[in-house]
Amino acid sequence: MKKIKIGICLLMCSALLFSCKTDKKEETMPETTEQQAKKSGIIKADYGTTPDGAKIEKYTLTNEKGMKMEVITLGGIITSLTAPDKDGKYEDIVLGYAKKEDYFNGNPYFFGAAIGRYGNRIAKGKFSLDGKQYQLTVNDGPNSLHGGKGFDKRIFTAEEVAGANPTIRLTYTAKDGEEGYPGNLKTIVTYTLTNDNALEIDYEAVTDKKTVVNLTQHSYFNLSGAGKTILDHELQLNADRMLPVDATLIPTGELKPVAGTPFDFTTAKQVGKDINATDDQLKKGGGYDHCWVFTDNNTKDLRHVGSLYHKTSGRYMEVYTTEPAIQFYSGNFIDGTKDSKTGGKYEKRSGLCLETQHYPDAPNQPKFPTTVLSPGEKYTSKTTYKFSVK
């Protein structure tokens, strides 16, 4: 009898223990991706494998207000960035391909990418440093554009950075001689999505040989969400001069005042207002594809340099940078062949880039601010895109 009682007791105890265990298991059940995505923070996921067999990761950063940014380790590419309109509706405001293959097979428009080692063009892909001539990969007519097979096509190592705002640090080390450039160049691009709806981008680079560096970001903005073009966006740039270009889009060396020309954005103006004006520079660029020099270009301070406004949605983006200039590219070469993530194809001028930077072809133009980086020095640069509504 005693034995039976003990047996029942043991059975009940183990049943109790088991049920406690089950309960506990339920309490610690991992959240679904959907549950997690609603909270601020960072989620890491697999993005896929490139044709060369490299595994790509995707990081989703969400801030406390619900703004969300997706970044992949290939090219440090921002594949998506949401921002609220005047009714609080969040929509994706950067262009991105519908198909991963378009990222994996070369990202022809440089959508969303971190650009290096030299953003923009270097004439004939040639420059000299200390009497030695370097030949870079030529990939844009006779010139080298965005570093040849640049950082946009390389795989970065990603680390989450602890702090009040979701932050991700991407590192890529370009080899000495890669694409023709001298020096092993360690580059760190840090993206922070702040809780007051700003995307902060911090760049750092160090080299072990004298080299040239000009880093930027190549997101195409369309603040309307899924609008067809950016011609109705109002742009303002604190820039009183621009760099005229030759037929291959290399600066002639002149710094031309914008006053009285279609290039005057010193007060806000619709992008489409003068884009079809009869103008030799607009003809050469097929629209706007030029470098504007900030009126206040002799500082390394982070300051307001321009803004972009889309009236219908109310979305407003302010640009701050430590850089002396900006390439405003009105998406003229987008040719209707790539599937858009919002449906249909991306047409000419469906997005615009505001690429903060040093001047194009500076390694060949001694009058332009230098882009030379020497061993022992640290390249630093910061750009902030701040989102709000008006």
Residues that bind ligand BGC in the complex, under the rule CB under 6 A: 109-110, 249, 289, 327, 329, 333, 353, 355
Kindly name the residue from 200, 290, 355, 358 that is annotated as catalytic.
355
Nearest CB to ligand BGC, comparing residues 329 and 359: 329
User: Cβ of residue 288: shortest distance to ligand BGC, in angstroms?
Assistant: 9
User: Cβ of residue 360: shortest distance to ligand BGC, in angstroms?
Assistant: 8
User: Cβ of residue 327: shortest distance to ligand BGC, in angstroms?
Assistant: 5
User: Cβ of residue 147: shortest distance to ligand BGC, in angstroms?
Assistant: 11
Active site residue 310: no
Kindly name the residue from 146, 218, 233, 310 that is annotated as catalytic.
218
User: Cβ of residue 369: shortest distance to ligand BGC, in angstroms?
Assistant: 18
Residue 63 known to bind ligand: no
> Of 258, 228, 227, whose CA–CA distance to 325 is shortest?
258
* Residues making up the chain, counted from first to last: 390
CA distance between the termini of the chain: 83
Residue 120 known to bind ligand: yes
Residue 218 known to bind ligand: yes
Residue 220 known to bind ligand: yes
Distance of alpha carbon 189 from alpha carbon 194, whole angstroms: 16
Nearest CB to ligand BGC, comparing residues 240 and 355: 355
The number of beta carbons lying within 10 Å of the beta carbon of residue 175 is 10
Nearest CB to ligand BGC, comparing residues 67 and 317: 317
Nearest CB to ligand BGC, comparing residues 98 and 129: 98
Nearest CB to ligand BGC, comparing residues 67 and 249: 249
Give Rg (Cα) of the chain: 25
Contacts 24+ apart (CB under 8 A), 46-54: 47/72, 47/73, 47/74, 47/100, 48/100, 48/104, 50/74, 50/104, 51/104, 51/105, 54/155
Distance of alpha carbon 11 from alpha carbon 20, whole angstroms: 14
Nearest CB to ligand BGC, comparing residues 206 and 352: 352
User: Cβ of residue 94: shortest distance to ligand BGC, in angstroms?
Assistant: 14
Distance of alpha carbon 334 from alpha carbon 265, whole angstroms: 23
Q: Please count the CA atoms within 13 angstroms of the CA of 333 that sit on its side-chain side.
A: 10
Active site residue 254: no
Nearest CB to ligand BGC, comparing residues 316 and 329: 329
Residue 109 known to bind ligand: no
Distance of alpha carbon 12 from alpha carbon 25, whole angstroms: 20
Known binding positions: 120-121, 218-220, 289
Give catalytic residue positions: 218, 355
Known binding positions for beta-D-galactose: 120-121, 218-220, 289
